[in-house]
């Protein structure tokens, strides 16, 4: 049965027992509202480690829009059941006051790549992401931590942070998981209206199609998306669009 760790003190004690015993620990950080993409990370962690821990924490510091934070879906009991079925051993489920006892006075800031793409459109987003991931890695002492490639920029920044601060945790990228129609799996997809959900797969089709980033931007706008960016970086085309009140991101290898 999956063990739930409700606070930082209990989690640190339990994780220290695991690491001192020489047992390998894999961590999957999440904000809940789990789907098959998350569960694929859990299964990979289970294949590569003795113990799998999943954090479920809706991190307020990575939301630049308070309304977006309020709308973010939450159902811990459903998440717990899914995690148990996927082979999760431990679920770390802290509250905001516990994770940010300092009131977020201390934070991690990357000063170059975090200002581009997502960072250019979501002020303070990567400060929040890097800060909470550093906290989670310090709390758990995990041997490996698993992140999906849908958030490609985020993965690279986390990997860079781990290297910069000489963290022992290995940062593992995991392949992006898609719906049958090509839409990248995301917790936010549940907020699409039926009409928006029907249109949403065109984002991936256009991004993966032929043409320059400028051409793809024009095609997305013609299809009905509001485009934040479509850019080529590190052998990938990365894009972010709005569909109604929902923001979608995706990337494809060139």
Cα torsion through 219, 224, 225, 230, rounded to 10: 10
Task: Characterize the bridge pairing of strands 226-233 and 3-5.
Answer: unpaired
Active site residue 38: yes
Residues in the chain: 254
79 and 123 Cβ atoms separated by less than 8 Å: no
DSSP 148: E
The one catalytic residue in 38, 121, 204, 242 is 38
Burial-class residue 56 by CB neighbours within 10 Å (0-12, 13-18, 19+): buried
| Residue 241: count of CB within 10 angstroms of its CB | 25
Q: Which helix (H) or strand (E) holds 98?
A: helix 96-99
Strand 246-253: give its sheet, edge to edge.
226-233, 236-243, 246-253
| Closest by Cα among 127, 122, 187 to 158 | 127
Q: Which residues are designated catalytic?
A: 38
């Amino acid at each position: 049965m999956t063990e739930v760790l409700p606070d930082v003190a209990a989690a640190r004690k339990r994780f220290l027992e695991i690491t001192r015993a020489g047992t390998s620990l894999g961590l999957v950080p999440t904000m809940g509202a789990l789907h098959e993409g998350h569960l694929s990370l859990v299964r990979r962690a289970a294949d590569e480690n003795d113990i799998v821990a999943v954090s479920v924490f809706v991190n307020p510091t990575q939301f630049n829009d308070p309304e977006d934070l309020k709308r973010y879906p939450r159902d811990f009991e459903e998440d717990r059941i899914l995690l148990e079925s996927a082979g999760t051993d431990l679920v770390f489920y802290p509250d905001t006051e516990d994770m940010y006892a300092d009131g977020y006075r201390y934070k991690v800031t990357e000063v170059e790549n975090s200002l581009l793409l997502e960072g250019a459109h979501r002020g303070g987003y990567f400060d929040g992401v890097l800060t909470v991931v550093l906290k989670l890695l310090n709390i758990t002492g995990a041997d490996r931590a698993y992140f999906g490639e849908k958030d490609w920029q985020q993965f690279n920044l986390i990997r860079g942070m781990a290297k910069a601060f000489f963290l022992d945790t290995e940062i593992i990228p995991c392949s992006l998981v898609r719906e049958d129609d090509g839409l990248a799996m995301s917790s936010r997809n549940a907020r699409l209206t039926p009409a928006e959900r029907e249109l949403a797969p065109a984002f991936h089709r256009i991004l993966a199609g032929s043409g320059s980033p400028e051409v793809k931007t024009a095609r997305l706008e013609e299809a009905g998306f509001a485009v934040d960016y479509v850019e080529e970086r590190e052998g990938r085309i990365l894009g972010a669009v709005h569909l109604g009140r929902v923001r979608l991101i995706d990337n494809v290898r060139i």
